[in-house]
């Protein structure tokens, strides 16, 4: 396990935890969500850390990853979601037409980002629609449970789906840097130590 894989995993756990926060409470860490959604568009970033705009972009994800690796702090809903996203990414990789459709959709959504901004309702709605028309058609389906009052609101559902698209982006990235599901079990302690080191570094950087 290396730092690049840990950062990509942190990106995955950040996006799934944001989706869970929204489903439960109807709100989430907006700065973290902007960093997660931003990662969808940084296709040609020179390094993993640049995909998130720096380590501070996945600070919430690093905290969540540490909690999930720690027996006592684990939130099984987030863990289940993350594992499902990893499996979903594998299925996506076997569907070149769908992958192409997704990539084209991201390119066209980029124009809206430039016009309205990354966290705008227009961009979130576009990303949610893209998730529904591509990834939602594949198995396994990512199940998000939460407060029914929140999940009945269309704008909340769109924010959840946009974060799930960001989660898949991180799963793709994780796979690209050599991430495999068995590593989560075998290198759990090493992964936790690296995540703590990265988190300490970003905390020092930010005072």
Model pLDDT for residues 55-103, shown as the tens digit of each residue: 999 999 999 999 998 877 788 899 999 999 999 999 999 999 999 999 9
What's the predicted TM-score (pTM) here?
Answer: 0.95
Mean pLDDT of 8-21: 97
pLDDT for residue 88: 97
Q: Is residue 168 over pLDDT 60?
A: yes
Q: How many residues does the chain have?
A: 207
**Rounded Cα distance, 94 and 198, in Å:** 33
3-205: CATH topology is YcfC-like (1.10.3890)
- Specify whether the CB–CB gap between 132 and 161 falls below 8 A: yes
pLDDT value for 41: 97
What number is the average pLDDT over the span 109-117? 94
195 within 8 A of 70, measured Cβ to Cβ: no
Mean pLDDT in residue range 10-34: 97
pLDDT of residue 144: 94
pLDDT confidence bin for 110, thresholds 50/70/90: very high
Please report, rounded to a whole number, the percentage of residues in the chain having pLDDT higher than 90.
88
Confidence label for 207 from pLDDT (cuts 50, 70 and 90): very low
């Amino acid at each position: 396990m290396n730092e690049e894989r840990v950062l990509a995993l942190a990106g995955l756990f950040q996006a799934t935890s944001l989706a869970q926060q929204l489903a439960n409470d109807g709100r989430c860490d907006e700065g973290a969500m902007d960093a997660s959604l931003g990662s969808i568009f940084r296709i040609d970033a020179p390094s993993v850390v640049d995909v998130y705009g720096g380590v501070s972009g996945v600070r919430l994800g690093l905290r969540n990853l540490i909690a999930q690796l720690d027996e006592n702090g684990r939130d099984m809903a987030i863990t289940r979601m993350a594992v499902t996203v990893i499996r979903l990414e594998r299925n996506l990789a076997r569907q070149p037409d769908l992958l192409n459709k997704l990539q084209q959709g991201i390119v066209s959504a980029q124009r809206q980002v430039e016009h309205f901004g990354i966290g705008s309702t227009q961009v979130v709605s576009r990303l949610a629609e893209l998730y529904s028309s591509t990834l939602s058609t594949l198995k396994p389906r990512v199940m998000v449970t939460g407060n029914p009052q929140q999940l009945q609101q269309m704008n909340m559902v769109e924010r959840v789906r946009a974060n799930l698209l960001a989660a898949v982006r991180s799963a793709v990235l994780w796979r690209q840097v050599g991430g495999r599901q068995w590593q989560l079990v075998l290198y759990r302690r090493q992964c936790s130590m690296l995540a703590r080191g990265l988190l300490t570094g970003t905390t020092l950087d930010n005072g």
